[in-house]
Amino acid sequence: MGSKSAAVSKPAPGTPDIPVVFVTSMGEDVDHLQGLSMGAIDYIEKPISPELVRARVKNHILGKRKQDALKGLTLRDGLTGIANRRRFDEALLEEWSRAARGKTQLSLVMLDVDHFKIFNDTYGHVAGDTCLRSIAGALSQSLMRPVDLVARFGGEEFVCLLPGTDPAGALLVAERFREAVAELAIPHEHSPTAPTVTLSQGLVTMVPVAEATPDLLLVEADNRLYEAKQNGRNRIGKAAAMAKSPSPETGTSVERARPDLPTILLVDDDQHMRAILAARLAFLPANVEVVASAEEALNFLARYRPQLVLSDVVMPGMDGFNLCGRVKENAALRGIPFVLLTSLSRNLRERSILAGADDYLSKLEEDQVFRMRTRLLLELGILNAVGAGGTEGTECSVEVEGSTAYLCSASTTIQKQMEIQLLSAKIRVHVVSGTSDLMRDLHLRAPDVLILDLDQDEEALRECLVGVRDTAGCADLPVLLLTSKGEEARMQPLEEFVTDRLLKPLEANETRHRVKLLVKLASARRNAGRGKP
């Protein structure tokens, strides 16, 4: 019956969807059941009838063609006609595994249409859809090899997977993308970047390792895309050189670290999570030192002084809570911000604060918030030393009581909640309902923290924040943004101005913690400013 060969061929890569027909002289029901249960689509007994075999095979071929056509529809983006996210995810996993086996380079370009929300607001969503279709066509036509894949990643984002491509080759592809979209000359009259539609791109090249996951490539490309946007858009953000995907047992060794950059110590016993977190921290201008246990962390801290420690909670031997306690008991180390990596459950948050941690952070936190909070905490660690006269590890004395926060919100519910929740921390809250009132009061007195509710138009808030930066005494004012779930896209135009984010509905302990942390940052910035020559 050939059952052994069929059993092997069905699970093999690239063959599961091939119809298998058994032709055999074994005609018992149990034989039929065995063959069909192994994945065969049909079972023909000998002696065969040629006409019957031809008819059955013809039907199976037609069925296979219909199946392939339907599968093609499920892997194609309905709007643009190019590959969709599902097809891209399949290809990424396949190419990552292939590159890891062959130790070859794999490149990824992530693309975003600049100011697409403004485009939709100006020309309408029908024009927006036409714009995306035109861009998708231009990207597809720019590819020169059949192995390269361009897909719609979601919304106005696209991705391009380039197997066996080095950084120089990937850069050439990204340049072709930029030129192809420029040649479309799609008008975008209200774009702050250019009069026609443009793209920002993030480019990364890695030599994958089998122990890591392809998410690393996406995270790094997203970081490079973020840099391109921060640097003015309509440009390509790329890593300085080709990177090897982080090995689970290696980080940035101290000997290879750049001495002009601060250091982050990352502690996690899970090898895959270490690699993912190290990649997520790559956007920061810092050396990331990775260790696998609390004991290794203490050995590192005995020799070096990082500016930030991020530690997993659950680890064999000494856990993250105990490691935090050991660090905070040491007078030379307690000024280093210590962050416990948790699932952000209420119990773990409370235990983190009781252990003396400066903050807690979900390992799977949304990208914008992860960037904000790690950037905030790294700055705090750097400024603590500066504000203490250069003595490493010494925390500046911060008196939270009597601090002032300005709240701009049109919601009376939010106003009352914030006043009540900060009352126990003895932080005064000055409330205004609109940005014009806020700017008037800021000229009279600068607060320690500015809290803005995203219940207003983000463009109006952006104009307000630009004005805040130009107001005397407010240039370095920490800004806390109050948002609801699902408002990440609305946050994006404000991210460069915002220090942290707080989700609504407001939870009292979380509100107090986030505002207190920003008060500490404000104090550290003032102390560092006074220490400047």
Strands 149-154 and 106-113: unpaired
What architecture (CATH level 2) is domain 254-387? 3-Layer(aba) Sandwich (3.40)
Looking at residue 6, what is its pLDDT?
41
Point out which residues pair with 202 in neighbouring strands.
110, 237
One-letter amino acid of 475? A
The domain covering 85-244 belongs, at the CATH homologous superfamily level, to Reverse transcriptase/Diguanylate cyclase domain (3.30.70.270)
Looking at residue 8, what is its pLDDT?
38
Distance CA 270, CA 248 (A): 8
Distance CA 168, CA 492 (A): 30
Cite the beta strand spans of 318-448 per DSSP E: 338-342, 359-362, 404-408, 428-432
476 close to 449: Cβ distance less than 8 angstroms: no
Residue numbers of the chain with a pLDDT score lower than 70: 1-17, 25, 27-32, 35-36, 39, 43, 48, 63-73, 211, 239-257, 343-347, 386-399, 530-533
Looking at residue 345, what is its pLDDT?
56
Is omega for the bond preceding 47 within 30 degrees of 0, making it cis? yes
Q: Is 379 a catalytic residue?
A: no
Strands 479-483 and 308-312: unpaired
Looking at residue 13, what is its pLDDT?
46
22 close to 1: Cβ distance less than 8 angstroms: yes
Distance CA 480, CA 498 (A): 6
DSSP H stretches of helix in 406-507: 412-423, 435-442, 458-469, 488-491
* Letter string b/e over residues 456-486, b meaning 16 or more CB atoms within 10 A of that residue's CB: bebeebeebbeebeeeeebeebbbbbbbeee
Looking at residue 228, what is its pLDDT?
92
DSSP H stretches of helix in 281-366: 294-303, 320-329, 346-354
Domains 3-74 and 404-530 belong to one CATH topology: yes
- List the domain boundaries for the chain: 3-74, 85-244, 254-387, 404-530
Strand ranges of the sheet holding 338-342, from the earlier edge strand across to the other edge: 287-291, 263-267, 308-312, 338-342, 359-362
Three-state SS string across 56-85, please?
HHHHHHHHHHHHHHHHHHHCECCCCCCECH
Distance CA 160, CA 174 (A): 9
Q: What is the pLDDT of residues 294-307, one digit of tens each?
A: 999 999 999 899 99
The CATH code of domain 404-530 reads: 3.40.50.2300
115 close to 188: Cβ distance less than 8 angstroms: yes
Looking at residue 287, what is its pLDDT?
92
Looking at residue 127, what is its pLDDT?
96
480 close to 499: Cβ distance less than 8 angstroms: yes
Distance CA 453, CA 411 (A): 9
Catalytic residue among 156, 220, 379, 395: 156
139 to each of 86, 158, 184, how far by Cα in Å? 18, 9, 11
The CATH code of domain 3-74 reads: 3.40.50.2300
Looking at residue 9, what is its pLDDT?
41
Give the three-class secondary structure for 132.
helix
